[in-house]
Structure 1
């Protein structure tokens, strides 16, 4: 059977390598006191189903966990499950329409109650509840039911054959939450459950003791954690806010913190900090791409509840010529050199890796062409009729509000791109928003990256694991954030294409790895060649930790904090 063979050869080959963890430094649980982590983007919630922000996903991963996750090499490894199901071991059905997960026996929540298959089933029900808004909805596409034949068995049933059935309950984006805690938080009630969202009961190595949104949270070692002697640290202080430079100094120069995430700083700045000798930089390349999104909807406040909703098209960014010209005007090589140096690579794709999925059909974006961009606008009838230096047509002026999070590198990018866009006749207003708010989860805030109440926005995103099916599904029509889904979903540009949706559906039932690559590239190419997303830089993940912190294994395929249970203090 072709699909069965493909699952065994392509998907499962990424899934079964044994997990290689750092030295656990055996001893008593909590023996090493406090570990202090700083994320200059502060988490606003600890429920990853209600936020697409990396800061929320990674903060929550200290507390709640999936059935399986990805290791530092992108291999799928069992976590709360006994093993990764495959056709070969009987965990995936011959027709590829079911996957059966077996929980490890004896697992308990941090409150001492048993983790059962009902919790697994509930996690799917919670994310797909009618009237709710689940930021990770694409993880559960094609799931029609979850059966629980016994307390340790969860059977996921798909509506189609799924050659890659490892979306539901896999990775930091799709963890298991406790049914008993969240049962009254379904659908529209989900964002109202403050206590639950700020302090989820979990199976992870730590238990929340205090959470202050967009600021700091503290946690203590989970006394019911399944591995003896872990975690080594008795408590965690997870500080958020500030900026990347301050976070870097807090590890490298003052030693106030043990771990600093996402040091989005110029390479010479990072190197200079490391000279103090208290910390070391760690970096790896995964799938992170700094990108610009071009809004396809009208965000005029006068539209009220219909602001930013599909059906109200943007007054000029729906013109492909405008989008194309804006892309052509950008010098990606200069941006990458200034912003990231060796921690950045050039790309013309939103899907830059793994290599088999990376398209070579869009490489023209690597060369800036200001004059060509002007020509494209001229040919489309955009001219400067009033002599103010900016183009207009039919009474509509090319004027954009360009937003991103507050960060020195991003503000450098904004300044250069504003210069280039205004050179071709596009008026550009810059706006930067505190990262804790921009990547926050508040459906009532007008300033989140998912609500996208601007013409243009810029940020970095990536995906769990090495298979891009769920990631590419994020730009289907039904993934557009809107009032009916609490402004959740990953299709922030509100792009909608029947052709794109059809490719997503085809990939969902395609097993051959080369065909999956063809479909992924085709979806990437639609987004690139329609200029819905303008990729800028393929970013390496770079963080820093104290030289006294052992067990750190930087992971670009899952939560960066995936193995915090194995961290320990190096004596001396």
Structure 2
């Protein structure tokens, strides 16, 4: 593990040296081979909240601005970041005006204009659209064109942090002409557009095979005539994290493998081949166990995990939710599965430092089996002959779901053993990542459907301000049939006091007060058991030693500066 830490620590120095060389002219570096062991199901991030879809689509479609590797906002399709000083942000915080870069073209050669920005807002906020990124547009009253290259956003009330809509990989601009007949309930049926969006990014989709392979070609109309250096990209999906890491680090078959969540000792062995390197950066990724606040009993049929099912028969008890967290030894989970790329946490908002709370660390960070058992004893949950606690005919035995991955399956086994020490049973289940994170409203195995009692995965937020992320736990963000199972409130947590505090955050301009409110909201989610935060995960991916220009970024898509990648000669 010490060796792995040294390798990760050396990344910054290596990048500083590699940045000195200029990359080749457009299309002269051949094919870039990318491996996503979680296969991509759509190129439309508005129809899937999965990170793999957000990252893959960022190859083609772009936002007005992104957050760079330093956590700073940088313009992409916009000419500058609007502020009060430059007149882009109104002093009353009720409007934000973006100036677009002139002469940007879509990959089909047509001009990119303010109308495309307006359409994107209408697309995601349309009734019955099931937009997976609706939280990005919270509080937006209107989007209008001042002129073809100026867009004005008006908010329903003062917006102290206005950089959500059209910012980051989760909120890119889509072409109005291509998606005009795909609004509302028609959105999922627009297969051609969803699989091959016309974009302004450095590459275009040539062929899309869902949950398999995507091929891209350099965008001939990209705004920088010298970029991208690669002529094409082959993005292969499927497999597992270990095989993806091996294909870069050991065999050299691929140039980049995303999300190499593999046991540290296995990675060290692969690195010895000398064909690749690991790069890591800590942003806001948190591996968590969501606790289903709705009844997930299969006998309920289509009502399961919806409001019609009623509250969960045992997880509605706060003592049970607290005991499940107390029983977990997060340090063991980090050591076994993450090494230098993980830190134990109880926070769903672990970074940046200004908003990272320590309030719950004393009771939460260290395992307390005795305390967990006492909580359950006092709450009347009694162990039966099988060692499983029960009360009023309800057993503390849970279906525990996650995606297929060796680290996650090992974590499931560890948690199951820890819960057994307090009289809680667990049936373990896993589904292919392509299905689990796929967002198919017809599938019973997606994380949004949550047809289990508890489920585990990682999620994060773009940028450094958590307001829009914390808004995902609002009562009206619960996934269900009415929104095509695309709501972001996966645990089905609902607390009017929480909703009110999110509203207060949205109106607060003072930075210190915003930070305090963010911490308070984070603490509510932890204390009330919306979920059990486990590991603050560093983004860990594998890159070929010949690949240069990479700026590892945990605040946005890892492919955010793909136009600058090139092959070292």
- 1:391-427 deviation per Cα after TM superposition (whole angstroms, max 9, x unaligned): 1111111110000011111111100111111221111
The offset of 1:369, in angstroms, is 1.1
- Partner in structure 1 of residue 370 of structure 2: 371
Question: Which residue of 107, 123, 130 corresponds with 1:133?
Answer: 130
Tell me whether 255-264 or 24-33 shows the greater mean CA deviation.
24-33
Aligned-residue RMSD, C-alpha: 1.3
What is aligned with 2:527? 529
Mapping 1:23-62, distance limit 5 Å:
25-62=22-59
Q: Is the 8 A contact 2:23 2:564 kept in 1?
A: no
1:525-545 deviations in Å (ceiling 9; x for gaps): 111001111111111111111
SS of aligned partner of 1:285: strand
Looking at structure 1, the residues matched to 411 and 302 of structure 2 have their Cα atoms a distance apart, in angstroms, of 32
- C-alpha deviation, 1:24, in angstroms: 7.4
Distance 1:177-1:382 versus aligned 2 partners, 3 A rule: same
Partner Cα distance (2:448, 2:20) in 1: 39
Indicate if the aligned counterparts of 2:127 and 2:184 stay in contact, CA closer than 8 A.
yes
Number of matched pairs: 551
Please say if residues 204 and 216 of structure 2, whose CA atoms lie closer than 8 Å, have aligned partners that are also in contact. yes
Maintained 8 Å contact 1:133/1:485: yes
Pairing partner for 2:337 from 339, 350, 355: 339
TM-score for the superposition, normalised by structure 2? 0.95
Structure 1 unmatched runs, 5+: 1-20
Q: Note the C-alpha offset of 1:299.
A: 1.9
Counterpart selection for 2:307 from 310, 317, 321: 310
Q: Contact 1:140–1:168 (CA<8 Å) still a contact in 2?
A: yes
Question: Are the equivalent residues in 1 in contact too, given 2:23–2:567 (CA < 8 A)?
Answer: no
Structure 2 unaligned regions, length at least 5: 1-17
Residue 442 of structure 1 corresponds to 440
Does the residue aligned with 2:414 lie in a helix, a strand or coil? helix
Q: Distance in 2 between matches of 1:140 and 1:36?
A: 34
Q: Is the 8 A contact 2:24 2:566 kept in 1?
A: no
- 1:23–1:551: 8 Å Cα contact kept in structure 2? no
Q: What SS does structure 2 have at the residue aligned with 1:543?
A: strand
Q: Within 5 Å, which residues of 2 pair with 1:1-12?
A: none
Quote the offset at 1:22 in angstroms. Answer: 4.6
- Equivalent of residue 106 in structure 2, options 109, 122, 125: 109
- 1:340-377 CA-to-partner distances (Å, cap 9, x unmatched) read 11111121111111111011111121111112111111
Match of 1:273 among 262, 270, 290: 270
| TM superposition score normalised by structure 1 | 0.95
| Alpha-carbon separation, structure 1, partners of 2:145 and 2:111 | 15
For residues 63-119 of structure 1, the C-alpha deviation after alignment (integer angstroms, 9 at most, x for no partner) is 000000011001000000000000110001121100001110001100011111010
* Secondary structure, aligned partner of 1:505: helix
Note if 1:78 corresponds to 2:75: yes
The list of structure 1 runs, each at least 4 consecutive aligned residues, that deviate by more than 6 angstroms after superposition, is: none
Q: 1-side partners of 2:403 and 2:475: how far apart?
A: 26
Aligned to 2:252: 255
Q: 2:404 aligns with which of 394, 403, 406?
A: 406
Distance 1:548 1:358 in 2: 37
8 Å Cα contact 1:230/1:565 also seen in 2? yes
